[in-house]
Amino acid sequence: QLETLEQEEQECLELRPHPTEKTTHIVSHEYGMTVTKTLQEGQAEPQCLGFSYSRAKLRGVLLEGASLLLLRVLARRQTMPPDLVFPAINTEGDLCTSSY
């Protein structure tokens, strides 16, 4: 049984005159997962947004690292089950589905 304990994603845009940096940090805990998003635009004060999802909502969730691992396993087996769909968290931190 594999479980994502923590994941961090960082995106940097070198746009002049205001470079932008976005960070998303996801941490698993006893009650579910907490997502913290930070946006830093130029020299402005960083904007932070945090929210949590319960374990019930995240049942079967597939985060980015697990998705890569699954794709490697499927490629190795050279098989693709029909209608393979998992709950996921998109780049904005919202719940969505991931279809293969």
pLDDT at site 1: 67
Reading phi first (left if > 0) and then psi (alpha if -120 to 50, else beta), residue 60 is in left
Q: How far apart are CA 43 and CA 21, in angstroms?
A: 11
Q: What is the pTM of this model?
A: 0.73
Mean pLDDT across 63-67: 80
At 21, is the pLDDT very low, low, confident or very high (cuts 50, 70, 90)? very high
Tell me whether strands 20-29 and 6-13 are parallel, antiparallel or unpaired.
antiparallel
- Work out the widest C-alpha separation in the chain, in whole angstroms: 49
At 40, is the pLDDT very low, low, confident or very high (cuts 50, 70, 90)? very high
pLDDT at site 49: 92
Reading phi first (left if > 0) and then psi (alpha if -120 to 50, else beta), residue 42 is in left
Q: If you average pLDDT over each of 3-7, 36-40, 85-89, which comes out highest?
A: 36-40
pLDDT at site 59: 84
Q: Domain limits at 52? A: 5-99
Whether residue 93 has pLDDT greater than 80: no
Report how many domains make up the chain.
1
